[in-house]
Amino acid sequence: MKLIAGNWKMYKGPGAAAEFCLGLREAELEGVDVVVAPPFVSLAVAVQLLAGTEIAVAAQNVHWEEEGAYTGEISPAMLLELGVYGAIVGHSERRQHFGENDESVGKRARGALAAGMFVIGCVGETEEERERGETESVLQRQVSAFEADDNLVLA
């Protein structure tokens, strides 16, 4: 089965997300698994409007702890309660702009998987690493942060 995952990044607030999800409900999606990853403020509307379809809703990030003093973070349990099925972890933008590293990405993935979520784990070298011929070593290092799991897909 093929997987198409759309990361909405910091686009589509609840109103735009509702409009998009209503249109997506009408799309012909045979033979492919589809995941949408709206920003946090649009997760609830996406879950509500895509209920009863085969389209999964994922968060763009997840914390490894179930609760605690982690301002701005969202736990796997909170996402599951909302009806979110999975999460993206390790996106290049999170690594570049927010200092995430292989260790924190691995912890996020393990926390989500342990809670029963599916995880899209992102790997990839920077342009500078590619130009230095480090692609293979970077990918090996990043992939090693993930533990094999049936609910894990690497992108």
pLDDT tens for each residue of 89-112: 999 999 999 999 999 999 999 999
Distance of alpha carbon 137 from its chain centroid, rounded? 24
Q: What span, in angstroms and rounded, lies between the C-alpha atoms of 134 and 32?
A: 33
Q: Between helices 102-114 and 135-144, what is the axis angle to 10°?
A: 40
Give the dihedral sign, CA 56/40/107/70.
Answer: negative
pLDDT of residue 46 exceeding 80: yes
Query: pLDDT class for 118, splitting at 50, 70, 90?
Result: very high
Model confidence, pTM: 0.93
Residue 65, pLDDT score: 96
pLDDT-above-70 percentage for the chain: 100
Taking phi over 0 as left and psi of -120 to 50 as alpha, with beta for the rest, 9 belongs to left
Average pLDDT, the chain: 96
Q: Which pLDDT value is given to residue 154?
A: 96
How is residue 148 annotated by DSSP? P
Predicted pLDDT at 28: 87
> What is the SS3 assignment for 22?
helix
In the chain, where does DSSP find H-type helix?
Answer: 14-25, 43-50, 76-82, 92-98, 102-114, 127-131, 135-144
Check pLDDT > 80 for residue 1.
no
Cβ–Cβ under 8 Å, residues 82 and 44: yes
